[in-house]
Amino acid sequence: GNSVTQMEGPVTLSEEAFLTINCTYTATGYPSLFWYVQYPGEGLQLLLKATKADDKGSNKGFEATYRKETTSFHLEKGSVQVSDSAVYFCASVSQGGSEKLVFGKGTKLTVNP
C-alpha cells in the first residue's frame, strides 16, 4: 500500500528564513500528493496539491513540486512568517479503490520573530 515519510520535526526558524520540509512517498502507480496544515487548536486545512508528475502546487507562498524520479514532494517557502507556525502533513492518495489518504506523521514548525 501507499506510505509517506516526512521529515521529523520540530523545525524552528526565524522570521523571513527559508523553509523546506521533506516528504517522500511510496505507492503503486502515480498517486496524487497533498500538503495539509494544522494551526494550533484547529482542524486540517488543505494547503496545496499536485495530481501528476512535474506539477507544482502553490498557495500562500508555499510551493511543492511532484518529482516522480525521486518520489518526493518537498514543501518550500521563501520567507516564513510567525503566522506560519503550525503542523504540516504530507499525504498521498491513489486513484481507484477506497481512495483514502495516507498521511505522514507531521512536522511542527515554529517561527520566531
Partner 1 sequence: DTGVSQNPRHKITKRGQNVTFRCDPISEHNRLYWYRQTLGQGPEFLTYFQNEAQLEKSRLLSDRFSAERPKGSFSTLEIQRTEQGDSAMYLCAPETGPNTEAFFGQGTRLTVV
For binding to partner 1 (CB under 8 A), which residues are involved? 4, 6, 31-32, 34, 42-46, 49, 51, 89, 91, 93-95, 98-106
Residue 5 bridge partners (DSSP): 24
CB of 15 to partner 1, least distance (A): 25
Nearest residue (CB) to partner 1, 28 versus 98: 98
Cite the DSSP H helix spans in 7-76.
Answer: none
CB of 106 to partner 1, least distance (A): 5
Per-residue burial over 12-47, b if 16 or more Cβ lie within 10 Å, else e, is ebeeeeebebbbbbebeeebbbbbbbbeeeeeeeeb
CB of 16 to partner 1, least distance (A): 28
The Cα 13–Cα 102 span in angstroms is 27
Nearest residue (CB) to partner 1, 18 versus 39: 39
